[in-house]
Amino acid sequence: MENVSVFSVCGMCTVRCPIRVKVENGRVSFIEGNPHVPAMKGAVCPRGAAGTALIYDSERPQTPLIREGNRGKGKWRKASWDEAFDYVAERLKKIKDKYGPESIVFTDRGGPFRDYHRAFLRGLGTPNYSNHDSSCARNVQHSALSLTGKGRKAVAYDFKNCKHVVLQFRNIFESVNVQEVNNLMDAMEKGCKLSVIDIRANVSAAKANNFMKIRPGTDYAFNLAVINEIISTRLYDEKFKGTYIEDFDALKKFVAPYTPEWAEGETGIPAQQLRKFTKELAQAAPAVIWHPGWMAARYTDSFYICRSIYIINALMGSYGAKGGLAFISKPGDVGRKGLKKFMDLYPKPKGKRADGVGWKYKHFEEGPGLAHLLFKAMEKEDPYPVKGYIAYRHDPLMGYPEPERLKQMWDNLDLLVSVTFSWSDTAWYSDVVLPMSPYLEKESIIATKNALKPQFFVRKRSVDPCYDTKADWEIVSGLAKRLDLPDLVFEKVEDLWNFQLDGTGVTIDDFDDKGMVTLANKPVYLNFEDYSFKTPSGKIEMISKKLEDNGITSLKPYESPVKPKEGEFRLTFGRCALHTQGHTVNNAMLFEQMPENVLWIHTDEAEKLGISDGDIVHVTQNNYTEDIKAKVTDVIHPEAVFVIHGFGHTLEVETRALNKGLADNKFMAGGMEIWDQAGGAIAYQEHFVTVSKA
């Protein structure tokens, strides 16, 4: 067999870096960053390099499976694809006939490859598409919308040209996006400053010029004091304020009591340090990026923290600026035609969403709604019964709080289907597992990247599947065929791509050279004369009518977080460079490098408890206990303990990951009910645990 190289798209996390895959004798031998994308610098991150271990792993679902015993007991019958498709389609039809199309719901993991399966849902007639985002970035999205009328992805972080980057609950050097990291490192070599505000010194803090260790849950206090300082010392961008900020006086009045001295008492960060930092930030303006956060589903006021960050960016004039929050273009903005959409084949379903978004909760964006409220609707059969659920590349039992509670919410379902490439708690609990081919073994639909230079990109198949798995489009097509949706049935992926490219002037051959097609010659930056935001005033609005009309205040007074009781710690978490969420722990290459997580605990607190570095400790909440190794350190705030999320697997089919480390989501009693009412996301860090030596 010949040796070939294929342009593809990494699938080890949702960043989806462009890659080039070397194939020798039908096996993947090497994965590198796509050399035509300068910011990749030819590299991938450690997880990206471990894609080979994913495809050649025998511990993943290898054929369709249909449940035989009770849910979760792991008794499976192997099925052919025809049998599995028939089984699922028949049951979906029955549910639709008996309860109506809205009784079928679907959640996925977000990302750029959604148009085709979302069209499938429209074809079925259900409004209930949802994704993981109420466990991730919903607060960021809703805060962006509330201020500018546009979502969080309407701006790109122009790290390459930035002069001062601020990371607050954003650990860019471990929670990686390869191109962003490379661009930031280039900028830092040219003198860009890095400030990090975190509850512990992470890798980003180690690279920072300025690290501010903050008391967990007090970020809003810090940010309000920064706004106070900017306004009282007139450090804001006059021209930007005049053109683009609405209700400035209301903001000024609101922040007046929140002085740096006041904030010091809340956050533990000295007032003088805050002042110095604010001044330095203003000196770099408008080429500043205060990152609004990514995994911002942490506190009940996270939405307001995100809003305060966007407000600071606005005061710095960083919106639309080179080196700031640059406005991105869509194909239409650069005079090109966008991809033809599968979703346009069907009208938007008329029914109400089961999660209440759009009618009960009018201040939330409809798009993906809020999955935790969808799960609640399943339990209560309110506003109507939900009987069929497809979890598509999504593992809510690992990603949402209190899995046992979530299983109860799913008890009323007649059908639970998982479409997945790896085992997961959710797949294990399903009635049917439809195994998806991992990214190196499949094609994906063409996607658009809206950017300073927008582009189309595509994932091509590098090698054929080694097990009886199928690509996403083959799975949706197989179901569409049996559910009377002929427009969504494709025999060949080329036909599907040609549908998308129709009218764009681009052909699939145009992707051969570089793996992507760029739609503009050079980056486009804001033109002050003709840009307006999508708010009623066209400006960035400090007071949002949409929020206020729904009983939610735009400028919320600060409330001090609960202090942990004596002997308790706030449970905090984050990511590491070697794993993605819960789904890589069992990857042989990554497991070898990091088999378990450890519990970060402050030296003084550990000493009080008689715990030394490396000791095994019990972590307990409400009579539930798991054991984990302690990492005793000075660099974490004493009120918190910290773990990397995604460990503590209990499935015997994953022999490597089994019983390694601790599962943070099991220490969040009542957590499905604790969410940010203004921003919509779960508040994962409002939970406390005790720690003792084992």
> 436 in helix, strand or coil?
strand
Among 10, 37, 417, 601, binds ligand SF4 (CB under 6 A): 10
Give bridge partners of residue 169 from the DSSP assignment: none
Cβ distance to ligand MGD smaller for residue 149 or 399: 399
- In this structure, which amino acid lies at residue 376? K
Q: Are 512 and 219 in contact (CB under 8 A)?
A: no
CB of 181 to ligand MGD, least distance (A): 10
H-helix segments, 293-420: 302-315, 371-380, 396-399, 403-409
Please check whether residue 411 is in contact with residue 381, taking contact to mean a CB–CB distance below 8 angstroms. no
Strand order in the sheet with 193-198: 210-213, 193-198, 164-168, 288-290
User: For the CA atoms of 333, 334, 340, 341, what is the dihedral angle to 10 degrees?
Assistant: -30
Q: Which residue in the set 8, 135, 146, 228 belongs to the binding site for ligand MGD (CB under 6 A)? A: 135
Judged by CB under 6 A, the residue of 7, 8, 12, 325 near ligand SF4 is 12
Place of tokens 């095994």: 616
What are the residue ranges of helices labelled H in 603-651? 603-608
Contacts with Mo ion by CB under 5 A: the residue count is 1
313 touching ligand MGD, by CB under 6 A: no
Does residue 187 belong to the site contacting ligand MGD (CB under 6 A)? no
- Exposure string of 566-579, with b = 16+ CB inside 10 Å and e = fewer, is eebbbbbbbbbbbb
Give whichever of 420 and 690 is closer to Mo ion, judged by the CB atom: 420
591 binds ligand MGD (CB under 6 A): no
The answer to whether residue 369 forms part of the interface with ligand MGD (CB under 6 A) is no
Which is closer to Mo ion, CB of 88 or CB of 136?
136
* Token output for 126: 């259900």
Using rule CB under 5 A, residue 390 touches Mo ion: no
Span of 15-23, 200-208, 445-453, 468-476 interacting with ligand SF4 by CB under 6 A:
15-23
Residue 323's CB: how many other CB atoms inside 10 A?
24
Q: Is 136 in the site for Mo ion (CB under 5 A)?
A: yes
Contact between 573 and ligand MGD (CB under 6 A)? yes
Cα(first)–Cα(last) distance of the chain, in Å?
56
3-state percent helix, strand, coil for the chain, nearest multiple of 5 = 35, 20, 45
44 counts as binding ligand SF4 under rule CB under 6 A: yes
130 vs 437 by CB, closer to Mo ion:
130
Q: In what order do the strands lie in the sheet with 447-449?
A: 447-449, 455-457, 516-518
198 touches ligand MGD (CB under 6 A): yes
In angstroms, give the least distance from the CB of 174 to ligand MGD.
6
* 267 binds ligand MGD, rule: CB under 6 A: no
Q: Given the rule CB under 6 A, which of 9-17, 447-455, 484-492, 666-674 is the region that contacts ligand SF4?
A: 9-17
Q: By CB under 6 A, is residue 226 in contact with ligand SF4? A: no
Give which of ligand MGD, Mo ion, ligand SF4, none residue 542 binds (C-beta under 5 to 8 Å, depending on kind).
none
Number of H-type helices and E-type strands within the chain: 22, 27
Smallest CA-to-CA distance from 320 within 151, 155, 453 is with 155
If binding is defined by CB under 6 A, does position 424 make contact with ligand MGD? Answer: yes
User: Under the criterion CB under 6 A, does residue 639 sit at the interface with ligand MGD?
Assistant: no
Min. distance of Cβ 105 from ligand SF4 in angstroms?
28
CA 538 to chain centroid: 28
The rounded radius of gyration (Å) of the Cα atoms in the chain is 25
Contact of residue 399 among ligand MGD, ligand SF4, Mo ion, none (CB under 5-8 Å per partner type) = ligand MGD
Pairing of strands 624-633, 598-602: parallel
Could you tell me which residues are beta bridge partners of residue 130?
107
Q: How far is the CB of 11 from ligand SF4 (least distance, A)?
A: 7
For residue 521, how many other CB atoms are within 10 A of its CB?
8
183 binds ligand SF4 (CB under 6 A): no
Rule CB under 6 A: choose which of 16, 193, 298, 631 binds ligand SF4.
Answer: 16
By beta carbon distance, the residue nearest ligand SF4 is 48
Report d(CA 435, CA 472) in Å as an integer: 9
Residue 17 interacts with ligand SF4 (CB under 6 A)? Answer: yes
Task: Indicate whether 312 belongs to the interface with ligand MGD (CB under 6 A).
Answer: no
Is 178 a binder of ligand SF4 (CB under 6 A)? yes
Q: How far is the CB of 21 from ligand SF4 (least distance, A)?
A: 12
DSSP β-bridge partners for residue 630: 599
- Please give the Cα distance from 254 to 228 (Å, whole number): 9
Question: Interface with ligand SF4 by CB under 6 A: which residues?
Answer: 10, 12-13, 15-17, 44-45, 47-48, 176-178
- The site for Mo ion (CB under 5 A) is made up of 136
Sites of contact with ligand MGD (CB under 6 A): 11, 13-14, 109, 132, 135-136, 168-171, 174-176, 197-200, 202, 214, 216-217, 219, 294-295, 298, 393-395, 398-399, 420-422, 424, 436, 572-575, 577, 579-583, 645, 664-665, 684-685
